[in-house]
Structure 1
Amino acid sequence: MCGKSHLQNCCIYIGGLAIIFSLVEFGYRTYQLATRGINKLVLGIVICWLLIFLAAIVLIVGAVKKKTLLLMIWVIVSLVCGMIIIILKIIIYSLYFSNNPYVTYPIVGVCLIILLILMVFLFVYYPYAYRHELREGLYR
């Protein structure tokens, strides 16, 4: 997907995708909170996506300015918040699927969890690889 010379561009794209995903998820979950009342699990997801949104801005600035500290902030925030989102969504899906007798709902839920795991992996891998190459001095 991204070669070693394009890791900076990958970090910028990942930051942009994270901003888009976080705005969509944040908007939908905020709508759920407003219409269905306060749910602690959904509120946790909203807070995590808000942190990912803020860290995505830090990622883009860090990639453009080639600052390894800013890249590491993104890696830590995206890994921690991503794992929290995955755990919260597993809990939400398991509660929802236990009440629905349809077979397709758990399959869709598992596919969404797998996509979230893949997204967290990509959100962490490319910025960390770019940070590693900056630390070795390949881009200076």
Structure 2
Amino acid sequence: MTFIVVGVSASSGSPGALRMAAREAQLRGVPLIAVQAWSAPRAPSASAGRPPAVNVDSNQLFSNAERALREQVTETLSEQEVECRLVRGTPGKVLLNASKGADLLVVDAPRGSVAVSSPLLAHKLVYRASCPVLIMPPSQAQAG
């Protein structure tokens, strides 16, 4: 089975990437899978070896993040059927795994300036993905 994967940022919602991936999925007649990486936040530490004052319920946080992903996708692509997957892990690993066997992987370019020494997700995806990668330029990321 063929399909298209789109990476969805928790901060921006990746509307440009979602719209482009949705158009491609419709043109090709294949399913669209929206994927977002998730990692549990660290519990606040307490001083002097005491347990933290706040307990973090990672299952509830995960459920909330799943709901937020579905809402972001629905807000951008209200009419189109999209499978949404929130996956524990780093964005690079999650997107590379999700795109195995895909026809196309679509992501937004990084936002803002990035230090020269920092690893770029888009660069990693281009060189390691097993399918073509479409990176939406910042000028198109919010375009309708």
**TM-score, structure 1 length as denominator?**
0.29
Q: Which of the two has greater strand per residue?
A: 2
Normalising by structure 2, what TM-score?
A: 0.29
Select the structure that is richer in helix: 1
Higher relative contact order (CA 8 A, sep 6+): 2
